Amino acid sequence: MSSEVPKGWLPAKLGEIAALSGGTTPSKSNGAYWTHGTVPWATPSDVTSLPLGQTRIATTEAQVSERALKECSLKLNPPNTVLMTSRATIGYAVINDMPMATNQGFLNFACSSDCVPEFLCHWLNAKRDLLTAAAGGSTFKELSRGTAKLLPILLPPVDEQRRIAEVLRSVDEAILANRASIMHMSRVRAATLHAAFEESAWEPVKLGDLGRWSSGGTPPKADQSLWNGDVPWICPRDMKSPVVTRAESTVAEKAIGGACKMVPNGTLLLVVRGMILAKAIPTATTAMAATYNQDIKAFHPNGRAIPKFVQLCLQHQEHGLLKQVNTATHGTKKLDAHTIAEVEVPLPDLPTQIELSQTITDMDLAMVRSGEEHIRLVRMKAALQSDLLFGHVRVPA
Amino acid sequence: MLDKSVRWMTLEELERHLWQAADILRGHVDAGKFKDYIFALLFYRRLCDVWDEEFEVLLAETGDREEAADPDEHRFHVPPQHHWTAVRKHSTQIGQHLNNAFAAIEDANLRLRGVFGDVDFANQERFPDARLEKLLAHFEKHRLRNRDVPPDMLGDAYMYLIEQFAEGAGKKGGEFYTPRQVVKLIVECLDPQPGMSIYDPTCGSGGMLLEAVQHLKHKGQDPRSLSLYGQEKELDTWAIAQINLFLHDIDDAFIGKGDTILDPKRYDPRAQEFTPGVGAYDRVMANPPFSQKVWGHEVWVNGDPFGRDVYGVPPKGYGDLAFVQHMIASLKDDGMLGVVVPHGVLFRGGAEGRIREGMLKADIIEAVIGLAPNLFYGAGIPAAILIVRKAKPAERKGKVLVINGDATFTSGKAQNHLTDANVRMLTDAFHGFVDIEKLARVVPVVEIAANGFNLNISRYVQTGADAEAVDVAAEVAKLHDLIAKRDEAEAVMFGHLKRLGYVE
């Protein structure tokens, strides 16, 4: 990386381009500082909880009273101050849209006329590693105002700062817009399932009438020759996504038999035992032939329903099923075979099942694509920041 | 003389007592049969204890032992030589003496015909005298007078025995034990008054009918003024209902045997017997088997011979609305009914949708009360209560009160339950018939009609637990909008990147 100063840019110190100040926490025991407070008062989590790509902040979780401002020498930062976390988590910067105070975990930059807040905000976020490295402190890592003031920055002319900020903002906006569409896709998915399962006039059929559910098993652990073979052996931990493509453990072919059953590609699996059932009912279809353990039941349909459709129905009913999870005497959570058999599935004809399953599969695929896009955008932004903020690539007028 | 301080036996004590009785039989009798033998003895013991209780009261009143033992002074007759204390005097052939006592008691009391079932203690190999001696001594540890045990204690005991010793733990062909608090909720909503006739077409061990008795007692009214009617298909359970009501001093209680849908029975007071038919009652309440598979579709499809299929024939595998329609047919014109149904009945389409539509158009549904999940023993399915009235009060006409009790419960270890406060909250909501945020809403029937006669509770009242977007078209439109915005944002971004030479 070149240490040359790009043409027209000026070396400066942070303390020379902005006035730095901190914040504080008014006494929590004094009700007058907090009750009916109307002044936004930021803590680091207000900043770190913002979605990636969002550089502006307008509201905070907590508010303080006017009186707290007066009596606690709490500084009210005017809009367009760069608020940066400086304690424990360091170098998360945002710009406030509203007058806002902060707690002691911030360094706040009131920019001079030479410095564009948006540019400084991007610069600080891009230099997070350097800022963290410069921080001292024993209990908390903390970047002091004194240290921060002396950190060097190469400052482009104000117009160029604005142009750089504009390019970076276009990336941020793409990230935010993509994120909003991903979030909404899951809403559409839920609404589609809701309409299908709650508002259709499909005849309800009990799950027990659609096929058989069988438990898996564990080959004897002591017999080494039964393990580490070619056959995937699925445990609940392998069922983190709706399609299982691989299992962490494998068994040998000769281990198949008895409780350790083999199911074909495309089998629906359901977790029926384990603490995960306290918060989720994992289901998955297999993308290969596999064996599975005793905490899982496999579905053997009798031809009236396709596994993917049943899986969607179970996903849709997760909220209700969670309430039916029992606790075994030793505390393990379990779903009884009886409960599973009694689950009601509104069942349309096979073509309709296939169509709905395909629609949802397509939606899932679109969500995966958008997720990948998100990752690409974030990576690109990081590369672009380093090119533009440090003058490797210039943004012409 | 009556000691009011005597404490009722708790269910735990009772269960321990029965478990120990089973221990005595273990290894000698097939576990599936435990319940028959234990129950017969339990009932015999209870009958004799209640007789003694009556005897004590009579003795205190008259001071004359002979008069106190006069069969005419008792509600039922226990021939002296077959009383528990008499049987206990024998040390040999105990089993035979027990058999004789059971037969003699059934013979002496018309209403107890069949309640002992077909248990046989006379098998000397299975029941040697020493073992029976031990068993009877065990049953003497607790007295089972009306003042020792809670009202539906035999029902509870029977459930416990089934749970412990029968296959399918607590569940018999889709029939579930109704939790007491749910029963209470229905009774409180229907608020039976003195002198009314009350009917439970699937009465099980008689818990609902007994709760009506309790309801009057609590209000200081005379429960004996009630006429109670029921029908039960399972013979064992029928026997318990018979015993339960009998022992609670309810003379006007008549429980018919048989299948309510295929073989409905009506009590004929003149003939003093049940004849085929559908009666008319002031209050009808039931917890029919959920979504019974085989209920009589093949008969109703050609028209119900008793004319109860007013709103249509329910689907083959779902008998719920057959029971509901039976209950409607059993109502007096100013009567009122409460029935437990699975949620599916509220929103399923097809034949059930048409029946629901008919009931709503006839404006007989007064309220739908959604219950919290996992309240029913052995059935996690969420249930709801329908309150039906043929002639609703004027101010309730054209409206249905929807109550969402999804969040009104107290969570327990294995299952949830309703506390007295929970029950009160729901009954107050019912009687109030006004909107209560996150709990109840008065919904015009026209609104339900606009929703395709769908009565799905969360559609009308959201407790906040699971509010969900339902308008797919609107959500999809918004998604298109968002994707367009994203594409626009990316176009702007690519414009910049192109200018900087990153693209092409």
* A contact residues 325-354, partner B, Cβ 8 Å cutoff: 326-327, 338-339, 342, 344, 346
- Residue B172's pLDDT band (cuts 50, 70, 90): very low
State whether residue B141 sits within 8 Å of chain A by CB. no
Q: At residue A211, does pLDDT exceed 90?
A: yes
Mutate to test the interface with B, among A54, A163, A178 (most CBs of B within 10 A): A178
CB pair distance less than 8 Å for A174 and B493: yes
Helix (H, G, I), strand (E, B) or coil at B129: helix
- Residue B169's pLDDT band (cuts 50, 70, 90): very low
Residue A68 CA, chain-centre distance (Å), reads 35
ipTM: 0.78
Mean pLDDT of A69-80: 94
Between these two residues, A384 and A139, which has the higher pLDDT value? A384
CB pair distance less than 8 Å for B478 and A184: yes
Q: At residue B171, does pLDDT exceed 70?
A: no
In tens, the pLDDT along B438-481 reads: 899 999 999 999 888 999 898 898 876 544 446 778 788 888 88
Cα distances (Å, whole numbers) of residue B436 to B343, B404, B458: 21, 10, 14
Q: What percent of chain B clears pLDDT 70, i.e. is strictly above it?
A: 91
Cα distances (Å, whole numbers) of residue B130 to B90, B134, B237: 11, 6, 31
Mean pLDDT of B395-418: 86
Q: At residue B233, does pLDDT exceed 50?
A: yes
Q: At residue B379, does pLDDT exceed 90?
A: no
Nearest to B325 by CA among B282, B355, B293: B355
In tens, the pLDDT along B278-305 reads: 999 999 999 998 888 889 999 999 999 9
Structure tokens belonging to residue B94: 């105990």
Mutate to test the interface with B, among A323, A330, A387 (most CBs of B within 10 A): A323
CB pair distance less than 8 Å for A192 and B472: yes
> B315-346 burial, b for 16+ CB within 10 Å, e for fewer?
bebbbbbbbbbbbbbbbbeebbbbbbbbbbbb
Cα distances (Å, whole numbers) of residue A163 to A18, A113, A390: 20, 16, 14
- Residue B162's pLDDT band (cuts 50, 70, 90): low
The pLDDT score that the predictor gives to residue B414 is 63
pTM for this structure? 0.53
Nearest to B334 by CA among B364, B304, B357: B364
Between these two residues, B132 and A278, which has the higher pLDDT value? B132
* B contact residues 338-367, partner A, Cβ 8 Å cutoff: 344, 347-350, 353
A89-96/A101-102 β-pairing:
unpaired
Cβ atoms of residues B320 and B339 within 8 Å? no
- Residue A115's pLDDT band (cuts 50, 70, 90): very high
In tens, the pLDDT along B392-405 reads: 999 999 999 999 99
What is the C-alpha R_g of chain B? 28
